[in-house]
């Protein structure tokens, strides 16, 4: 039974969450005041609390962040990349070589990202020729 496995493998985390979210003592299971079915229902409730449930964080490191945290990291990464491209396009070519692509924010449970080298950028002449071919 999955409930028994969770109780056996994560007793401390489960006890902490039961006290925090439900004001219940896990020891009530052994006292006969709490059934495995009810524990299963409460565990299902804990699964919907990423970023808050100690049990969920112990089971899956990615649950340390809420959905909002992941969205904010994505927005932040996009803004950093947008700033990089703006600066790359608007600084002298001698200074543009010093700019590095900003690394994305590391997410919980994800491997450390390895920055990729950017491809070659076209110069103004090549861009003008390309756009001229499109409009011709």
Residues 12-49: tens digit of each pLDDT: 999 999 999 999 999 898 899 999 999 999 999 998 88
Which pLDDT value is given to residue 89? 86
Within 13 Å of residue 86, how many CA atoms lie on the same side as its CB? 6
Alpha-carbon gap, residue 29 to 31, rounded angstroms = 5
Phi-psi region at 132: left, alpha or beta (left = phi > 0; alpha = psi -120 to 50): alpha
pLDDT < 50 stretches in the chain: none
Share of the chain above pLDDT 90, in %: 43
Show the tokens assigned to 13. 């985390």
Which pLDDT value is given to residue 125? 86
| Maximum separation of any 2 CA atoms in the chain, in Å | 84
């Amino acid at each position: 039974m999955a409930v028994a496995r969770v109780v056996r493998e994560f007793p401390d985390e489960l006890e902490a969450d039961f006290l925090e979210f439900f004001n219940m003592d896990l020891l009530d299971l052994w006292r006969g005041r709490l059934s495995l079915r009810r524990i299963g229902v409460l565990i299902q409730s804990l699964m919907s609390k990423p970023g808050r449930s100690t049990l969920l964080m112990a089971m899956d490191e990615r649950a340390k962040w809420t959905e909002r945290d992941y969205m904010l990291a994505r927005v932040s990464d996009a803004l950093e990349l947008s700033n990089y491209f703006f600066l790359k396009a608007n600084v002298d070519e001698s200074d543009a070589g010093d700019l590095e692509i900003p690394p994305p924010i590391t997410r919980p449970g994800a491997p450390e990202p390895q920055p990729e080298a950017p491809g070659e950028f076209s110069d103004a002449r090549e861009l003008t020729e390309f756009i001229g071919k499109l409009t011709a």
